[in-house]
């Protein structure tokens, strides 16, 4: 039976609730349907009736709770159903039920009874909010007076009376909380309710104050017992106060409570509630203006030091966190008062403020290791940031304040040395603990960076002097040394940035002292070695100006490369240094050590790639001074990989391991080649002299056959290119073998192969110098072109098109290659068009290919390689347009952008070539129709901008044509938008076209008029498209407009 | 004290949310006001998450081409960039000079100074 058809009656509700909770009898399959029925029933009109009937003590607890939930839901969401004449009836019925449960609570300790009671309280609170403006203005007074006096017994039991007071407190707490969920009311109504609540707050304040005063007269044991009703009353009263503070009640209205809270905070059981209430009070933005009032509580805040000491002794981390939050909430909002106090002549105030800053200092220097022994010191970093930020932002008395506060920040550095130290048992920590400590150390580093502008050069002096002292006095204390080096590493790059180019002379002295210390440090474990390596790496650009200290830095990096546990850090440091410095004098040492590290094969693949990049850059440096030795090294390094790659390419059977090994070697070789060329560009960017062809040729030939080259030392940027070319010519036959071996199945390797060629060619493309013209480059071109002819249609993937484009750009300018390149271009076109030979799903599954091919075409058109396109006949151009038309229906953002860019360039191109104008005029209808479909709802809204770009180009280049096509599509053919919307139905969710908005003729005419008139203003043009798109989608409302603006 | 910016609406998560909400509004499953509020909540939540849960630091080195600051939104345009992630892997991404990179940054802290302009009570 279909459960959803069951009528919403009391009997059915009772039955279904009981079945829903009787898990043993109901299968899990059935349960979601029951749940759905209950949810729908709760929102039905009938819930007003059966909700009351279910709240019957004779029914099951679950039924009673569901009934109470129904009533809360109805009052909350469907209050509009209730006719005004029934407001009183509803109110009285709710009160009656509520009191019934309140008295039951005394005898029945069942937790669920309490939940039912709470639900009814929420319903009454919500009802009170709806009626407070007109019909029940005295609701708060009524709650306070009626409920405790509702039982007509001559002498009420005290416990019963307290139980009723608890209900009043709960109702008063719920009023501001329920106000937050009044989203169904308009702003005016909400504001009226808000002001009514605030107007009535004095009643609540007096009521709570009476309660607080009465608690004061109670014997301490009654307050301390958490099981006593009195304790609950205090706890709930504080919660109630917090709730009203968060609602926006201002400090002036609740001053009388603050002293009580500072008393209760010392009660273990009331600590959390009191601290939370005070934190809300001090951090509330509404109360920031009461600066002087809050400041009066400074002595009480200072007294909390005792409580903090207690928590530290008891190792109560949670207590410390809560207390730290309270003290910081107080401090962060009092900065201006703190500054004023220090600038005043009042010594007593200054003394108090000094104590307060020291209290926060104590919070930062919380004993133990973060996060295992303590978890609160990190909260204080924001205070120190705000302090320095505000201090640097003020004008009056800033110098005086800087003199006062600088010592605090120096003291903070002392604390950071302690807090940064790694614990003795670090290796026993869990991964999560280690990660939290890592983040904590980064936070300290950030705090120090902010402090630079305040502390200045003293910071580096402090760190380096302490390090010198420590290395001399405690050479084995690696923990302090590591912490100090970490501090240096955190700030040094910032010092470099902020002081450059006039890098301070003093900082130079201290950094030189640090580098001099490197050989003196005992690297007894991986932590100190790794941190020192990172610090050395961060010195990169500074080392460029201080090459005399390079030997120490390089030696440390080489030591790191030989030490297995820190090879990662060593390679990072080395790469950072190489990026900034010329290392030709150290190149051979670095290459030799890196090669050893590569041979050891214990390192991760990404690390090997980084090492190969280091080798490439060092080889480039070495080429300029020791050409012959560089060639020898290159051969030495590359040869094993070529042999391995050849072996892999000859394997008859391949598996995942051989696939991964092949890809890795391809990556390594492309990294080596690209870093060689990039390095030469950096070093020799101004040197446009082409290399001597004959010399280059002899070098290449000798390299090919593995002989020592006889060429003399060259110093031009083409050296590296010549070497890379000779390497490529050696590799391409292996590449071809890999392609043949892996076709048709292993496309991953083929993709990787083309990616690796693309990386090498892209560094070639970025070079300022043209490809040297010789037989080697010609051979490379021919071999590369042949590689494409081995490919089948499936293996023409992303990087194949990229390589194809690179080849065209590198060699097209040379007339003798044009014929071959034209053929290649047409071959790539034919392969791309094959994507359309199968169904649309096939096209959808190859968006990366569509994207890459269109990017390739767009870039060629943008770079004005027009002659390539001029060879296309009309039929091919039609295919191309059809391809782009299909591409415009793909929802992938980057693919769509690539297609759009191609089309925009293509439209501009046709305008230049007269014979193509006619072609476009005859073949634009379908294209523009697809664009309009996409804009009107065929594609997600965030893609409309991309489509509008094509239309803009059309309007700009072909206004007449666009005008006539738009008229035909929109007006003559009476275009109406269709939306693809997920429409749920019985058989599941299916996509359906549903008519969205009906566009009038005027709307369409206005759209055409506005797009045509805004051809000179792209912003206004896009606005017109956005408006049309939103109208078509039925979203021309506040939501649609606001969510269409973009950065 | 994070400010809520709409800048994260253009990331994949934001566009996915927009698509979903558009569909709900179009099929009358929710009102447009509700969709607006959901987006506002998204702005709040994503700012909070980025502020509190992202601990990794990113360094970048590049040549600044153009910069502008409007309504606390900084737009920086670079020619090429090297980005290093300071996590345990220390991964880095390098893009050559020919690549244009745009960074849009907003101030995470609210302007505290303005708060001090409030009147003192007593």
Beta bridge partners of B61: B82
On whether residue A992 sits in a domain, the answer given is no
pLDDT of residue A516: 93
Q: Would you give per-residue pLDDT tens digits along chain B (122 residues)?
A: 345 688 888 889 999 999 999 988 888 889 888 999 899 899 989 988 887 777 677 778 888 889 998 877 888 999 888 887 766 566 677 777 777 889 888 876 544 333 333 332 32
User: Which chain B positions have a beta carbon within 8 Å of A1033's beta carbon?
Assistant: 22, 26
Exposure letters B39-66 (e unless 16+ CB within 10 A, then b): beebbeebbeeeeeeeeeeeeebbeeee
Residue A698: is its pLDDT beyond 50? Answer: no
% of residues, chain A, pLDDT over 70:
88
Residue A716: is its pLDDT beyond 70? Answer: no
Residue owning tokens 């151009």: A877
Beta bridge partners of A983: A990
pLDDT of residue A584: 86
Helix or strand or coil: residue A822?
helix
For chain B, first and last CA: distance in Å? Answer: 27
pLDDT of residue B1: 35
User: Which chain A positions have a beta carbon within 8 Å of B121's beta carbon?
Assistant: 252, 289-293
B-proximal residues of A, 244-303, CB under 8 Å: 252, 285, 288-293
On whether residue A145 sits in a domain, the answer given is no
- Residue A1015 and residue A962 in contact, taking contact as beta carbons nearer than 8 Å: no
Say how far apart CA A787 and CA A805 lie, in whole Å.
14
Mean pLDDT over residues A605-630, rounded? 88
- Residue A567 binned pLDDT confidence (cut-offs 50, 70, 90): confident
- Residue A20 and residue A35 in contact, taking contact as beta carbons nearer than 8 Å: yes
Tell me whether strands B92-106 and B58-70 are parallel, antiparallel or unpaired.
unpaired
On whether residue A765 sits in a domain, the answer given is yes
Say how far apart CA A168 and CA A153 lie, in whole Å.
19
Residue A709: is its pLDDT beyond 50? Answer: no
Tell me whether strands A978-985 and B58-70 are parallel, antiparallel or unpaired.
unpaired
pLDDT of residue A909: 93
Q: Which domain holds residue A742?
A: 582-683+717-769
By C-alpha distance, the chain A residue nearest B116 is: A336
Residue owning tokens 């020592």: A708
Both structure tokens of A706: 């593995």
pLDDT of residue A708: 35
pLDDT of residue A979: 60
Residue A26: is its pLDDT beyond 80? Answer: no
How much is the mean pLDDT over chain A?
85
Residue owning tokens 């830095």: A553
Residue A278: is its pLDDT beyond 80? Answer: yes
On whether residue A660 sits in a domain, the answer given is yes
Task: From residue A160, give the alpha-carbon distance in Å to each of A140, A156, A211, A474.
Answer: 21, 7, 16, 70
State the Rg of chain A over Cα: 39
By C-alpha distance, the chain A residue nearest B74 is: A1047
Tell me whether strands A988-995 and B73-85 are parallel, antiparallel or unpaired.
unpaired
Helix, strand, coil % in chain B, rounded to nearest 5? 35, 35, 30
Strands (E), A915-1015: 978-985, 988-995
Residue A744: is its pLDDT beyond 70? Answer: no
State the Rg of chain B over Cα: 19
pLDDT of residue A791: 80
Mean pLDDT over residues A163-173, rounded? 91
- Residue A997 binned pLDDT confidence (cut-offs 50, 70, 90): low
pLDDT of residue A972: 82
Task: From residue A68, give the alpha-carbon distance in Å to each of A6, A15, A28, A48, A55.
Answer: 21, 16, 25, 11, 6
Residue A737: is its pLDDT beyond 80? Answer: yes
What is the DSSP-derived secondary structure letter of residue B111? -
Both structure tokens of B105: 């940054």
- Give φ, ψ of B100 to 5 degrees: -90, 135
Mean pLDDT over residues A1005-1030, rounded? 90
pLDDT 10s digits, A476-523: 999 999 999 999 999 887 776 555 444 567 788 899 999 999 999 999
Mean pLDDT over residues A935-943, rounded? 90
pLDDT 10s digits, A129-157: 999 988 898 999 989 988 877 665 555 57
Asked whether the whole model's pTM tops 0.90, one would answer no
- Min Cα separation A237/chain B (Å): 27
Is B121 in Cβ contact with A252 (below 8 Å)? yes
Is B36 in Cβ contact with A1038 (below 8 Å)? yes
Strands (E), A30-101: none
Q: Per mean pLDDT, which range of A31-40, A787-796, A800-809, B14-23 is the poorest?
A: A787-796
Residue A688: is its pLDDT beyond 70? Answer: no
Residue owning tokens 């949670």: A318
On whether residue A639 sits in a domain, the answer given is yes
pLDDT 10s digits, A527-566: 999 999 999 998 888 888 888 889 999 999 999 998 888 8
Both structure tokens of A238: 């504080």
Helix or strand or coil: residue B70?
strand
pLDDT of residue B86: 65
User: Which chain B positions have a beta carbon within 8 Å of A293's beta carbon?
Assistant: 121-122
By C-alpha distance, the chain A residue nearest B42 is: A1043
On whether residue A822 sits in a domain, the answer given is no
% of residues, chain B, pLDDT over 90:
15
Give the domains, in start order, of chain B with CATH numbers. Answer: 7-53 (1.10.287), 57-106 (2.30.18.10)
Residue A711: is its pLDDT beyond 70? Answer: no
- Residue A412 binned pLDDT confidence (cut-offs 50, 70, 90): very high
- Give φ, ψ of B64 to 5 degrees: -80, 125
- Residue A705 binned pLDDT confidence (cut-offs 50, 70, 90): very low
Nearest to B18 among A393, A941, A1038 (CB): A941
CB of A505 within 8 Å of any CB in chain B? no
* Cis amide linkage into residue A371, ω under 30° from 0: yes
Residue owning tokens 């072909």: A958
B-proximal residues of A, 409-448, CB under 8 Å: 438-439, 442-443, 446
Nearest to A940 among B15, B27, B75 (CB): B15
* Cis amide linkage into residue A165, ω under 30° from 0: no
Q: Report helix angle A893-912 to A874-887, nearest 10.
A: 150
Both structure tokens of A969: 């599509």
On whether residue A648 sits in a domain, the answer given is yes
CB of A336 within 8 Å of any CB in chain B? yes
Say how far apart CA A337 and CA A194 lie, in whole Å.
31
pLDDT of residue A154: 53
Mean pLDDT over residues A971-987, rounded? 62
pLDDT 10s digits, A752-798: 888 888 888 877 776 656 666 667 778 888 888 888 888 877 778 77
Say how far apart CA A259 and CA A238 lie, in whole Å.
13
pLDDT of residue A623: 86
Nearest to B32 among A762, A893, A1039 (CB): A1039
Say how far apart CA A499 and CA A495 lie, in whole Å.
6
% of residues, chain A, pLDDT over 90:
42
pLDDT 10s digits, A871-927: 888 899 999 999 999 999 998 999 999 999 999 999 999 988 878 888 999 999 999
On whether residue A483 sits in a domain, the answer given is no
Is B23 in Cβ contact with A982 (below 8 Å)? yes
Is pLDDT larger for residue A994 or for residue A522? A522
User: Which chain B positions have a beta carbon within 8 Å of A183's beta carbon?
Assistant: 37
Is A393 in Cβ contact with B37 (below 8 Å)? no
| Spatial CA neighbour of A724 closest among A675, A690, A770, A682 | A675
pLDDT of residue A989: 44
**Which phi-psi region, left, alpha or beta, contains residue A480 (left: φ > 0; alpha: ψ -120 to 50)?**
alpha
Mean pLDDT over residues A959-976, rounded? 89
Chain A to chain B, count of Cβ pairs less than 8 Å apart? 103
Q: Report helix angle A925-933 to A944-957, nearest 10.
A: 150
Helix or strand or coil: residue B92?
strand
Q: Tell me how far the alpha carbon of residue A149 is from its chain's centroid.
A: 56
Number of domains comprising chain A? 1
pLDDT of residue A152: 58
Strands (E), A960-1027: 978-985, 988-995
- Residue A323 and residue A308 in contact, taking contact as beta carbons nearer than 8 Å: yes
Residue A603: is its pLDDT beyond 70? Answer: no
Say how far apart CA A258 and CA A297 lie, in whole Å.
9
Both structure tokens of A699: 């070098």
- Residue A417 binned pLDDT confidence (cut-offs 50, 70, 90): very high
| Spatial CA neighbour of A479 closest among A418, A416, A563 | A418
Is pLDDT larger for residue A220 or for residue A298? A298
Is B120 in Cβ contact with A981 (below 8 Å)? no
Residue A325: is its pLDDT beyond 80? Answer: yes
């Amino acid at each position: 039976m279909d459960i959803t058809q069951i009528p919403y009656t009391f009997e059915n509700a009772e039955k279904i609730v009981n079945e829903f909770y009787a898990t043993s009898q109901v299968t899990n399959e059935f349960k979601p349907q029951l749940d759905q029925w209950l949810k729908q029933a709760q929102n039905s009109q009938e819930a007003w009736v059966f909700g009351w009937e279910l709240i019957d003590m004779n029914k099951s607890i679950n039924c009673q709770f569901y009934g109470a939930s129904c009533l809360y839901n109805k009052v909350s969401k469907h209050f509009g159903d209730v006719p005004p004449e029934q407001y009183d009836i509803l109110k009285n019925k709710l009160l009656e039920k509520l009191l019934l449960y309140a008295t039951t609570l005394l005898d029945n300790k069942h937790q669920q009874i309490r939940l039912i009671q709470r639900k009814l309280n929420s319903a009454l609170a919500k009802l009170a909010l709806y009626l407070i403006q007109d019909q029940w203005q005295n609701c708060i007074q009524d709650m306070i007076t009626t409920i405790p006096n509702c039982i007509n017994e001559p002498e009420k039991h005290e416990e019963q009376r307290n139980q009723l007071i608890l209900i009043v407190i709960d109702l008063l707490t719920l009023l501001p909380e329920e106000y937050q969920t009044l989203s169904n009311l308009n702003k005016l109504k909400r504001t009226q309710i808000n002001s009514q609540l605030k107007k009535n707050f004095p009643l609540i304040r007096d009521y709570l104050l009476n309660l607080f005063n009465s608690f004061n007269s109670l014997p301490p044991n009654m307050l301390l017992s958490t099981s006593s009703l009195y304790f609950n009353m205090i706890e709930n009263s504080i919660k109630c106060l917090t709730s009203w503070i968060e609602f926006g009640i201002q400090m002036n209205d609740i001053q009388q409570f603050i002293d009580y809270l500072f008393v209760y905070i010392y009660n273990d059981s009331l600590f959390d509630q009191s601290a939370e209430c005070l934190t809300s009070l001090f951090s509330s933005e509404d109360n920031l203006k009461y600066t002087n009032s809050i400041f009066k509580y400074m002595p009480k805040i200072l007294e909390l030091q005792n409580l903090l000491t207690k928590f530290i002794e008891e190792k109560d981390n949670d207590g410390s966190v809560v207390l730290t939050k309270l003290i910081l909430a107080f401090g962060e909002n009092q900065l201006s008062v703190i500054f004023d106090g220090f600038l005043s002549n009042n010594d007593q105030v200054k003394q108090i403020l000094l104590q307060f800053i020291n209290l926060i200092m104590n919070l930062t220097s919380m004993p133990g290791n973060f996060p295992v022994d303590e978890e609160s010191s990190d909260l204080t970093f924001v205070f120190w940031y705000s302090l320095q930020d505000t201090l640097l932002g003020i004008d009056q008395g800033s110098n005086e304040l800087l003199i006062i506060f600088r010592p605090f920040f120096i003291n903070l550095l002392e604390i950071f040395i302690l807090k940064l130290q790694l614990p003795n048992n670090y290796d026993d920590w869990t991964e999560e603990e280690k990660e939290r400590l890592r983040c904590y150390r980064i936070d300290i580093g950030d705090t120090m960076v902010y402090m630079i502008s305040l502390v200045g050069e003293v910071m580096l002096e402090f760190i380096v002097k302490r390090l010198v002292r420590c290395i001399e006095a405690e050479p084995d204390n690696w923990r302090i040394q590591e912490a100090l080096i970490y501090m240096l590493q955190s700030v040094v790059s910032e010092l470099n940035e902020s002081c450059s180019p006039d890098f301070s002379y003093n900082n130079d002295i201290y950094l030189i002292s640090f580098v001099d210390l490197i050989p003196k440090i005992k690297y007894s474990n991986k932590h100190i070695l790794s941190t020192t390596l990172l610090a050395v790496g961060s010195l990169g650009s500074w080392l460029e100006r201080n090459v005399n200290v390079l030997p120490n830095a390089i030696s440390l990096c080489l030591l790191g490369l030989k030490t297995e546990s820190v090879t990662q850090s060593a390679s990072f440091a080395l790469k950072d240094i190489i990026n900034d410095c010329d290392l030709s004098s150290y190149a051979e040492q670095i290459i030799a050590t890196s090669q050893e590290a590569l041979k050891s094969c214990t390192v991760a693949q990404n690390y090997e790639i980084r090492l190969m990049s280091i080798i490439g850059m060092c080889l480039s440096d070495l080429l300029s001074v020791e050409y012959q030795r560089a060639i020898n090294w290159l051969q030495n390094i590359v040869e094993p990989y070529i042999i391995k790659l050849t072996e892999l390419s000859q394997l008859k059977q391949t598996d995942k391991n051989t696939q991964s090994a092949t890809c890795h070697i391809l990556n390594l070789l492309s990294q080596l080649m690209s870093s060689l060329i990039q390095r030469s560009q950096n070093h020799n960017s101004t040197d446009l002299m082409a290399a001597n062809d004959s010399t280059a040729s002899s070098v290449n030939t000798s390299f090919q056959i593995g002989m020592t080259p006889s060429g003399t030392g060259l110093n031009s940027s083409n050296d590296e290119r010549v070497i890379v070319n000779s390497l490529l010519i050696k590799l391409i036959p292996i590449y071809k073998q890999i392609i043949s071996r892996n076709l048709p199945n292993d496309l991953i390797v083929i993709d990787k192969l083309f990616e690796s060629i693309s990386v090498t060619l892209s560094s070639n493309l970025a070079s300022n110098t043209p490809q040297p013209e010789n037989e080697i480059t010609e051979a490379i071109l021919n071999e590369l072109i042949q590689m494409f002819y081995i490919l089948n249609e499936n293996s023409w993937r992303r990087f194949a098109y990229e390589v194809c484009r690179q080849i065209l750009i590198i060699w097209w300018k040379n007339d003798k290659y044009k014929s071959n390149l034209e053929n290649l271009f047409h071959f790539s076109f034919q392969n791309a068009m094959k994507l359309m030979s199968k169904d649309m799903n096939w096209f959808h599954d190859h968006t990366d290919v569509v994207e890459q091919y269109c990017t390739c075409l767009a870039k060629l058109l943008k770079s004005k390689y027009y002659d390539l396109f001029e060879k296309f006949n009309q039929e091919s151009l039609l295919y191309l347009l059809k391809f782009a038309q299909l591409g415009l229906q793909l929802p992938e953002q980057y693919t769509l952008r690539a297609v759009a860019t191609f089309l925009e360039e293509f439209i501009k191109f046709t305008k230049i070539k007269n014979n193509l104008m006619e072609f476009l005029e005859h073949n634009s209808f379908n294209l523009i129709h697809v664009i309009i479909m996409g804009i009107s709802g065929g594609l997600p809204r965030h893609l409309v901008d991309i489509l509008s770009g094509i239309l803009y180009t059309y309007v700009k280049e072909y206004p007449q044509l666009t005008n006539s096509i738009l008229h035909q599509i929109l007006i003559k053919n009476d275009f109406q938008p269709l939306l693809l919307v997920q429409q749920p139905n019985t058989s599941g969710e299916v996509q359906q076209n549903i008519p969205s908005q009906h566009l009038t003729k005027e709307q369409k005419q206005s759209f055409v008029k506005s797009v045509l008139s805004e051809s000179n203003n792209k912003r206004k043009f896009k606005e017109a498209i956005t408006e049309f798109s939103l109208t078509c989608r039925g979203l021309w409302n506040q939501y649609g407009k606001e969510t269409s603006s973009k950065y | 004290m994070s400010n809520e910016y709409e800048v994260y609406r253009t990331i994949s998560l934001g566009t996915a949310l927009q698509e979903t909400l558009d569909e709900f509004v179009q099929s009358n499953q929710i009102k447009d006001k509700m969709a607006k509020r959901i987006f506002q909540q998204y702005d709040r939540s994503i700012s909070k998450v980025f502020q509190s849960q992202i601990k990794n630091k990113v360094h970048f080195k590049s040549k600044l081409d153009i910069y502008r600051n409007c309504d606390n939104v900084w737009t920086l345009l670079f020619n090429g960039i090297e980005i290093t992630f300071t996590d345990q892997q220390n991964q880095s991404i390098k893009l050559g000079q020919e690549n244009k990179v745009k960074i849009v940054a907003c101030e995470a802290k609210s302007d505290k100074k303005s708060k001090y302009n409030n009147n003192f009570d007593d």
